[in-house]
Amino acid sequence: MKNLILLSHKVKLACFGLFIILVACTGADKKTQDSRPNILLVLCDDLGYSDVGFNGATDITTPALDKLAEEGTIFSSAYVTHPFCGPSRASLMTGRYPHPMGAQFNLPPNSETIGKGIPLEETFISKTLQESGYYTGAIGKWHLGAVPKYHPNVRGFDEFFGFLGGGHEYFPKQYRAKYEKQKKAGQKVIFEYLLPLEHNGQPVKEKEYITDAFTREAVKFVDAASKKEEPFFLYLAYNAPHSPLQAKQEDLDLFANIKDEHRRTYAAMVHAVDRGVEKVVKTLKETGQFDNTLIVFLSDNGGKLSKGATNYPLREGKGSACEGGYRVPMFFHWPNHVPAGSRFDYPISALDFYPTFTGLAEAKIPEGKILDGKNIWSDFISGKDSHQNQMIYCLRHRTGYTDVGARRDSMKVLRINKESWKLINLDKDINEQHDLSAKYPELLKDMVAETEKWSQTHRQPRWWHNEQTGIEWKRDSMPRFDETFKLD
């Protein structure tokens, strides 16, 4: 009897041990089962095309970004959809040009006063990835709607840390004093650049230079993600080097050789982003996530020349339909997946992120979702042009007229400042100095006609970046596309 009891006890122990092994194996399977990549999208604000080392900067040092770029693929012809931030960011999230959504202007400062934001019928990439099982985070600048129904936590982000408006001051001690003074005076609407940062809707009493604060929160997010079974999508949207030009003294000291004050402060702000990315990458490596993370880096538009930026060799900068306004520095990095030490010269658009990311994530694109880009992954890996014979547009409204730039393959049609349409060969004339319209009139006519057809999908703006612009829009009976697309 004693032997039977002992045998029974041994059988129970063996069964229990087998159960533990099965549970452990199941857990291990779940941990490694989801091999879909993490996606880290790092966005700078008003960063110039030539203001990073991997794109030719000599006076601004960006060693962390350069290392990632050199170990990945640099894109020489990367475009965003608009030459200033709000519309460009709307496209990143929706995969659509901003104009058909009525989002072709920046939301005005303190946009909570008008209660508007990117239309709710537009499913953000964050929501699509979240619904496919991704852990999602947004850190930094939002600028896509400041009232609750447009909040990042509602648009597909599990975590949000940052500010909801179009910009912010960088030193908490300074902006908090201004905020408290206005609050004490009973001012109902306090300038958004002074408002407290927030975490998931709750105000935060920040103490760090906010570029460093965003890095800190990104590191926390990556660390938290490492403990989860699902992959992550992190949208790290630094507001640097957007004005106001404010930098830490330790960063300024690194660029004492730059005599121009704007340029020196701007350089220090870019460097703060670079050392921030270095910390995030270090955390990815320490948590074993680096090798399975696609890192995408770019700017939301061209650099602002009056605030220390350069866009060499491109013409003009932020706000322009010339290349300097919306052609941006960009790279992909993903070990053993993205070609290392490579350069991709074919055009790519930020519109391509939505379909490309969903493809990599094996996510289901919402039924009826309009996407203006395409999944470029297979073409990119094989070195092919995903946009052959396809137009890439930029259209920016001004007071009483509209500037337009539209590229197809190496050719671009351009009309700015109410001047005549021009035809440019970007492969031979990246600075857009030589007009070929007299030599190829039929090509000019065809490309302008195709751009005009695209403009017919646009809707009236849902908002303007300030009240005066809205008044002028109505006064001038804009957009007046019949004048814009008229050929001489």
**Does residue 244 register a pLDDT over 60?**
yes
Query: What SS3 class is residue 332?
Result: strand
Mean pLDDT of the region 341-350:
98
Q: What percent of the chain has pLDDT over 70?
A: 93
pTM of the entire structure? 0.93
Query: Exposed (0-12), middle (13-18) or buried (19+): which is 186, by Cβ within 10 Å?
Result: exposed
Residue-wise pLDDT tens digits, 101-157: 999 999 999 999 999 999 999 999 999 999 999 999 999 999 999 999 999 999 999
d(CA 53, CA 48): 11
Is 15 labeled as catalytic in the residue annotation?
no
d(CA 244, CA 166): 12
d(CA 248, CA 30): 44
What are the C-alpha distances in Å from 366 to residues 37, 40, 72, 161, 358? 20, 22, 31, 27, 11
Rg (CA), the chain: 25
What are the C-alpha distances in Å from 175 to residues 169, 185, 216? 6, 16, 20
State phi, psi for 237 to the nearest 5 degrees: -105, 85
Q: Is the dihedral of CA 300, 142, 404, 345 positive or negative?
A: positive
Classify 391-484 by CATH class. Answer: alpha beta
Q: Which one of 44, 85, 322, 394 is the catalytic residue?
A: 85
What pLDDT shows up at residue 9?
Answer: 40
Residue-wise pLDDT tens digits, 438-465: 999 999 999 999 999 999 999 999 999 9
d(CA 82, CA 160): 25
Residue-wise pLDDT tens digits, 369-411: 999 999 999 999 999 999 999 999 999 999 999 999 999 999 9
Domain spans, the chain: 36-382, 391-484
Mean pLDDT of the region 47-53:
98
How many residues does the structure list for the chain? 488
CATH fit for domain 36-382, picks 3.10.20.30, 3.40.720.10, 3.30.1330.10, 3.40.50.2300: 3.40.720.10
Per DSSP, the residues of 342-401 read: EEE-S-EEGGGHHHHHHHHTTPPPPTT---SS---HHHHHHT--TTTT-EEEEEEEETTE
Cis amide prior to 339 (ω within 30 degrees): no
Q: Which one of 44, 82, 99, 143 is the catalytic residue?
A: 143
Biggest CA–CA distance in the chain, Å, is 107
The mean predicted confidence, pLDDT, of the chain is 94
Is 99 labeled as catalytic in the residue annotation?
no
